[in-house]
Amino acid sequence: MLASKACWVLFAALCLAVGLYPVSYFLAASNFGLRASKSIELLADPVWNAAFYTHIALGGLALAVGWTQFVTRLRLKRPGAHRLLGKVYVGAVLLSGLAGVYIGFFATGGVVAASGFISLGIVWLSTTASAYRLIKRRRIEEHRLMMTYSYAACFAAVTLRLWMPVLIHAMGDFISAYRIVAWLCWVPNLGVAYVISRRQLQARELVPS
């Protein structure tokens, strides 16, 4: 029980920390962080900049609020807050995901990295849209399943930052590491979401009706 609570605290802390990280891009120089790997021409492109800042700001918001949707106490005791935060999450995903797909075409690392991040954006958008349609139809269990997959895709923002130092150290090269992390940051997350969903389904099946 204690270990489970500790994992939840760590999970929430990572989501909040990485969710707030985009603030640093608004306070730092224009070539801060990942932007340092971009060309001068791209950094001067107003469309790319609008998409970039939309993606990181609303993606951070989605990450920071999305984990609350899995808190049973909030869902049962504060259904209004649960629904409100869910709407904030869906709205943030819609805009951040679309912007993410766009900037994915300009990803550092060429076609391998670009295809990884574009695929992530498509999965994030499609699972979130499916979760929203399902809850509107009151198909609650299927909604929870899709939300699990949606947030697994969203959590890629965290796993990317956990994997990058390991990959750079192992490969000695940022570009090679970035090409790998474009896929590694989210594909295993979906596998974990599948395992979690299966265990929850099996646990519910064991509960007498």
Burial (CB < 10 A; 0-12, 13-18, 19+), residue 206, is exposed
Residue 34, pLDDT score: 84
pLDDT higher than threshold 70 for residue 206: no
* CA 180 to each of CA 4, 53, 166, 177: distance values in angstroms, whole numbers, following the listed order: 31, 24, 11, 5
Q: Which of 179, 181, 124 is nearest to 158 (CA)?
A: 181
Q: Which of 137, 143, 52 is nearest to 90 (CA)?
A: 143
Q: Give 4-15 pLDDT, tens digit per residue.
A: 788 889 999 999
Q: Give 134-156 pLDDT, tens digit per residue.
A: 999 999 999 999 999 999 999 99
Residue 1, pLDDT score: 63
Q: Which of 150, 144, 145, 115 is nearest to 129 (CA)?
A: 150
User: What pTM was estimated for this model as a whole?
Assistant: 0.92
Q: List the structure tokens of 168.
A: 């750079």
Burial (CB < 10 A; 0-12, 13-18, 19+), residue 157, is buried
